[in-house]
Amino acid sequence: MTNDLFFELAAGEEATIAQLRAESKRHTAKVEREAVRQVIDIDDFRRRWYLPEEQGGLPVSTKRAYLREAFRAIIVHSALKGGTVFNPDLLELVWSEG
């Protein structure tokens, strides 16, 4: 196999690998959410939400999955010009139904 052919094929394979990894993370998050729903200790869930993943916290992919399920949209309103401090009051949460 020539170098040119190898590098031409490698780019496509890398994209496929990235897609499969993303699908795997989504699946893992879904499985974990379903397991948590069966027996949920809300205090433990809150604790794990804020813990780093290395200390037993929830992975970012799991948190994203929960947020996608909970909200239909999150609208970010404009801040004042020059404002550098995060202001949660500028977020409008649109909850999912059901």
Whether the pLDDT of residue 77 is over 80: the answer is: yes
Q: What is the domain range of residue 88? A: 3-95
Q: What is the pTM assigned to this prediction?
A: 0.50
Give the position of tokens 């990894």: 21
- Indicate the number of domains in the chain: 1
Tokens read off for 13: 């394979």
Side-chain-facing half-sphere of 98: CA atoms under 13 Å: 0
State the pLDDT confidence band at 81, using cuts at 50, 70 and 90: confident
Residues 6+ positions from 97 with CB-CB distance below 8 Å? 72
pLDDT tens profile 17-69 = 999 999 998 888 888 877 766 777 888 889 999 999 999 999 998 899 888 88
Structure tokens at 20: 């499969």
